Amino acid sequence: MPLPSAQPTPGPSLGREGSFALYIHWPFCVSKCPYCDFNSHVRESVDQSAWRTALLTDLAYEAALLPGRTLTSIFFGGGTPSLMPPETVAALIDAAAGHWQFAPDIEITLEANPNSIEATRFGDIAAAGVNRVSLGLQALDNDALRYLGRAHDITEGLAGLDTAQRAFKRVSFDLIYARPDQSPESWEAELARALSFGTEHLSLYQLTIEPGTQFAARQAKGDLPTLDTDRAALLFEQTRAQTAAAGIPAYEISNHARPGAESRHNLTYWRYGDYAGIGPGAHGRRNRLATVRRKKPENWITRVTANGHGMESEDDLSPEMRAQEALLMGLRLAEGVDVADIAERTGVAAEDLLHWPKVESLEGHSLLTHDGYRIALTEAGMLLLDAILAEIVAIG
Contact 301, 28 (CB under 8 A): no
Q: What is the pLDDT of residues 78-88, one digit of tens each?
A: 999 999 999 99
User: How much is the pLDDT for 340?
Assistant: 96
Higher-confidence residue: 367 or 228? 367
- Taking each helix axis from N to C terminus, what angle separates 319-330 and 339-346, rounded to the nearest 10 degrees? 150
- Give the rounded percent of residues in the chain with a pLDDT score beyond 90: 82
Among 71, 39, 68, smallest CA distance to 274 is for 71
User: How much is the pLDDT for 37?
Assistant: 79
Q: What is the pLDDT of residues 192-212, one digit of tens each?
A: 999 999 999 999 999 998 898
User: How much is the pLDDT for 215?
Assistant: 86
Q: What is the mean pLDDT of residues 174-196?
A: 96
Q: Is the pLDDT of residue 6 over 60?
A: no
Q: What is the pLDDT of residues 315-343, one digit of tens each?
A: 999 999 999 999 999 999 999 999 999 99
Q: What is the CA radius of gyration of the chain?
A: 21
Domains, the chain, ordered by start: 19-270 (3.20.20.70), 336-392 (no CATH)
Residue 307's CB: how many other CB atoms inside 10 A?
A: 12
Between CA 142 and CA 148 the distance in angstroms is 10
Q: What is the pLDDT of residues 353-362, one digit of tens each?
A: 999 999 999 9
Contact 49, 165 (CB under 8 A): no
Q: Is the pLDDT of residue 7 over 60?
A: no
Between CA 225 and CA 221 the distance in angstroms is 10
Banded pLDDT at 17 (limits 50, 70, 90): low
User: How much is the pLDDT for 120?
Assistant: 92
Q: Is the pLDDT of residue 62 over 70?
A: yes
Q: Residues with Cβ < 8 Å from 274, sequence gap 6 or more?
A: 15, 17, 19, 20, 21, 66, 69, 268, 285, 286, 287
Q: Is the pLDDT of residue 21 over 90?
A: yes
Q: What is the pLDDT of residues 237-261, one digit of tens each?
A: 999 999 999 999 999 999 999 999 9
